[in-house]
Chains A and B, each alone.
Chain A
Amino acid sequence: MKQTFGSFGKTLLAAGSLLAAVSNVQAESLKIGIAGPVTGPVAQYGDMQKIGAMMAIRQINEAGGINGQTLEGIIYDDACDPKQAVAVANRIVNDDIRHVIGHLCSSSTEPASDIYEEEGVLMITAASTSPTITEKGYELIFRTIGLDSLQGSLAAAHIRDHVKPERLAVIHDKQQYGEGLATTVKDLLAADGIEAEMFEGVTPGDKDFSALIAKLKRNNIDFVYYGGYHPELGLILRQSREKGFDVPFMGPEGVVNSDLAAIAGEAMEGVLATAPKSFDQNPENSALTEAFKARNEDPSGPFVFPAYAAIQVMTDAIKATGETDPYALAEYLRANRFDTTIGEIGFDARGDLTESTFMVYRLHADGSKTALSE
């Protein structure tokens, strides 16, 4: 008897919420959660994601919305803190939002994506690059930014095709990011017949690299790939120049920073680096770039255009399928290609981009950079 009442109650509840959901769709706009740091030390990155996504939402609404419905972006602050990200994800679920752009920091995106997958929320991150996020084989988790590890294959291809070093050295800073990339580059080049003569690590925060440079010199190294960040590479470049060791260097995105020029000075002229494409420099995006500038927003941040593209693919899918159901949208996202502001993109089975969003650049001592190859 008791049980009957229980199930009857549940049915009533389900019918009630269904009714509520239906009336929501008709009366209200489609809510999209934008989750990322609004406060905290990396808030400026959260701002890039926010201005990109909000611009897309605004422009779509001005053009009449999708399927007769306007979009509404709702900002959630996870402060780039994994614990707060979980709380935010739960709140988004409770607020009945089924479409999320975010989160930003990989460490926040990881725990939050567990919740979205379980609760049936479509999530597209425009900034998290850690490979582990999509490794779990989720159905509803996508991203519009390339993985860190893609930089390694791009760098290796560039070294193989354009640099063709005789004696290669691969140096890294023993940290997950730097050593991971250095190992990828070394292994890929070894597979192509270019063996590294030297493969070794330096201590992050170290200042004296004279012993390492003497060793590079002794081994007649003619090209160095460095996996790590700018403070160490800057000092290595500067000290190499002082010791008369003058060979080309290459590094990942972590070294592309105005501080590199300050540390290395003239010695950084001609350093190669893989970095995300500058979408705001693309002539096809000039109208959009102007729209940002008109609102006093900076379009040059690395996550602005990927966030815009995330909204684009989401709304394209909604338009094409005529539904807002996350599972239907996820299926459509995997099956089709999209023309977005970051180029023509598609998603693989994991939800990762099938295209690389990185490019090889030559850095200059005045802090500017020139694009070399796709």
Chain B
Amino acid sequence: MSETALYVLQQLINGLTIGSTYALIAIGYTMVYGIIGMINFAHGEVYMIGTYTAFITIIGLVTMGVGSLPIILLLALITAVIISSTYGYAIERVAYRPLRGGPRLIPLITAIGMSIFLQNYIRLAQGSRDLAMPSLISGGISFGDPALFEVSISWMQMIIWSVTLVSMTALALFISRSRLGRACRACAQDLKMTNLLGIDTNRIIALTFVIGAALAAVAGVLLGLYYGTINPYIGFMAGLKAFTAAVLGGIGSIPGAMLGGLILGVTEALTAAFFPSEYKDVVAFSLLVLILLFRPTGLLGKPEVEKV
């Protein structure tokens, strides 16, 4: 392979890594929108809480003397998913359910309020400084001609891909095969009718919040380990990028969120590869504007039929 091809390959690898985590967070936005048509702006904060939980768990386990890496990772994932899901459920129960049926702007404002509340609550509880953790998983493999350009893939990147792949497959199977998944799809099609047919829609809505929060927590654990530093403000930018990914893929569509995340990540990496890297957000968001101009519903979104 030529030097440029190897370089592009390296940037694709970098882009796919960051893109898969965008996709994991984007699922939460898109599922909630698909069912109740609201944007849960506090979702980025749920991701942030997942990262903090993972950090605290890992540091706790390491100080307790647990040395086995798979056990640490698994326990961190489980705790983060449980705590974040609880937050996801509680947010829905406290801030959104009492307002359901009201004007659309009201839940939007409570969502922003919730986001600010959670951010400041974590800031007060954990401090506003960057917390850092030594890298647990280092090293990786590299290939390509060292004289030209050496492509390196770290173990952490491979873990991110495989965990994302497993979570996404599990989600797809859950939605398409299980009874609850069918109920989710029914709610997305027609909430009122589903309720009339005897399905507890409040439960299904709570479930989508929990699923979204769990996937955001998975992303939180992965990114927390990958970057090694966290602060209470990481939820904002991650949430914004994931929301963009969801809109890019077509908000309301689960495969769309996955595709949107990957496209956004790869676009950012390739932009940074060939232009000064300060332009990566400019290009990524210009792409969003262009796609929305030509496909207002996003890449895989269906044109919205006005429900009567």
A262 / chain B contacts, CB cutoff of 8 Å: 130-132
A299 to B212, CA, bound (A): 52
Is there contact, CB below 8 Å, between B229 and A234?
yes
Given A174-B278, A202-B277, A244-B142, is A207 in contact with B7 using a C-beta cutoff of 8 Å?
no
In the assembled complex, B268 has its CB within 8 A of some CB on chain A = yes
Is there contact, CB below 8 Å, between B227 and A235?
yes
Q: Mark A202-215, 1 if CB is under 8 A from B, else 0.
A: 11011110111011
| Nearest-CB residue, chain B, relative to A239 | B227
Question: What class of interface size applies to chain A in its complex with B?
Answer: 20 to 34
B11 / chain A contacts, CB cutoff of 8 Å: 211, 214
Is there contact, CB below 8 Å, between B152 and A235?
no
Is there contact, CB below 8 Å, between A212 and B229?
no
A234 to B229, CA, bound (A): 9
Q: Which of B108-163 contact A (CB under 8 A)?
A: 129-132, 134-135, 138-140, 142, 149-150, 152, 154, 156
Q: Which of B1-54 contact A (CB under 8 A)?
A: 3, 7, 10-11, 14-15, 17-18
In the assembled complex, A111 has its CB within 8 A of some CB on chain B = no
CB distance from B189 to the nearest CB of A (A): 37
List the count of A-B residue pairs having beta carbons below 8 Å apart: 89
Q: Mark B225-255, 1 if CB is under 8 A from A, else 0.
A: 0011101011001000000000000000000
Is there contact, CB below 8 Å, between B14 and A242?
no
In the assembled complex, B81 has its CB within 8 A of some CB on chain A = no
In the assembled complex, A265 has its CB within 8 A of some CB on chain B = yes
A294 to B41, CA, bound (A): 54
| Nearest-CB residue, chain B, relative to A261 | B132
Given A207-B227, A235-B227, is A215 in contact with B277 using a C-beta cutoff of 8 Å?
yes
Is there contact, CB below 8 Å, between A214 and B130?
no
In the assembled complex, B72 has its CB within 8 A of some CB on chain A = no
In the assembled complex, B273 has its CB within 8 A of some CB on chain A = yes
Contact of B277 among A200, A242, A244 (CB under 8 A): A200
Is there contact, CB below 8 Å, between A208 and B134?
no
In the assembled complex, B215 has its CB within 8 A of some CB on chain A = no
A217 to B233, CA, bound (A): 30
In the assembled complex, A254 has its CB within 8 A of some CB on chain B = no
In the assembled complex, B269 has its CB within 8 A of some CB on chain A = yes
Is there contact, CB below 8 Å, between A214 and B273?
yes
A205 / chain B contacts, CB cutoff of 8 Å: 233, 237
Is there contact, CB below 8 Å, between A201 and B277?
yes
Is there contact, CB below 8 Å, between A259 and B237?
no
Is there contact, CB below 8 Å, between B152 and A212?
no
In the assembled complex, B223 has its CB within 8 A of some CB on chain A = yes
CB distance from B32 to the nearest CB of A (A): 25
A243 to B234, CA, bound (A): 23
Is there contact, CB below 8 Å, between B278 and A211?
no
In the assembled complex, A345 has its CB within 8 A of some CB on chain B = no
Is there contact, CB below 8 Å, between B229 and A203?
no
Is there contact, CB below 8 Å, between A210 and B135?
no
Q: Which of A326-359 contact B (CB under 8 A)?
A: none
CB distance from A222 to the nearest CB of B (A): 16
In the assembled complex, A302 has its CB within 8 A of some CB on chain B = no
Given A210-B269, A215-B277, A265-B135, is A242 in contact with B154 using a C-beta cutoff of 8 Å?
yes
Q: Mark B206-236, 1 if CB is under 8 A from A, else 0.
A: 0000000000000000010001110101100
| Nearest-CB residue, chain B, relative to A263 | B132
B273 / chain A contacts, CB cutoff of 8 Å: 211, 214-215
In the assembled complex, B67 has its CB within 8 A of some CB on chain A = no
- By secondary structure, the A interface counts as helix
In the assembled complex, B171 has its CB within 8 A of some CB on chain A = no
| Nearest-CB residue, chain A, relative to B238 | A207
B204 / chain A contacts, CB cutoff of 8 Å: none
A215 / chain B contacts, CB cutoff of 8 Å: 272-273, 277
Is there contact, CB below 8 Å, between A212 and B135?
no
B139 / chain A contacts, CB cutoff of 8 Å: 242
B130 / chain A contacts, CB cutoff of 8 Å: 231, 234, 259, 262-263
A265 to B14, CA, bound (A): 22
A199 / chain B contacts, CB cutoff of 8 Å: 276
In the assembled complex, B280 has its CB within 8 A of some CB on chain A = yes
In the assembled complex, A238 has its CB within 8 A of some CB on chain B = yes
Is there contact, CB below 8 Å, between A218 and B18?
no
A208 / chain B contacts, CB cutoff of 8 Å: 14, 18, 227
B268 / chain A contacts, CB cutoff of 8 Å: 211
CB distance from A196 to the nearest CB of B (A): 12
CB distance from A24 to the nearest CB of B (A): 47
Contact of A214 among B10, B129, B228, B278 (CB under 8 A): B10
Is there contact, CB below 8 Å, between A211 and B229?
no
| Nearest-CB residue, chain B, relative to A244 | B152
Is there contact, CB below 8 Å, between B150 and A244?
yes
Is there contact, CB below 8 Å, between B150 and A211?
no
Q: Which of A208-251 contact B (CB under 8 A)?
A: 208, 210-212, 214-215, 217-218, 231, 234-235, 238-239, 242-244
A262 to B154, CA, bound (A): 21
B18 / chain A contacts, CB cutoff of 8 Å: 208, 210
Is there contact, CB below 8 Å, between B7 and A214?
yes
A323 to B150, CA, bound (A): 71
Is there contact, CB below 8 Å, between B132 and A259?
yes
Best-surrounded residue of B227, B268, B269 (most CB of chain A within 10 A): B227
Is there contact, CB below 8 Å, between A242 and B135?
yes
10 additional A-B residue pairs with CB within 8 Å, beyond A211-B11, A218-B149: A201-B277, A203-B280, A211-B15, A211-B277, A217-B149, A242-B135, A242-B154, A243-B154, A259-B130, A262-B130
**B residues engaging A (CB < 8 A)?**
3, 7, 10-11, 14-15, 17-18, 129-132, 134-135, 138-140, 142, 149-150, 152, 154, 156, 223, 227-229, 231, 233-234, 237, 268-269, 272-273, 276-278, 280-281
What are 20 pairs between A and B in contact, CB < 8 Å? A203-B278, A203-B280, A206-B237, A208-B18, A208-B227, A211-B14, A211-B268, A211-B277, A214-B14, A217-B150, A218-B3, A235-B227, A235-B228, A235-B229, A238-B227, A239-B227, A262-B131, A262-B132, A265-B135, A265-B228
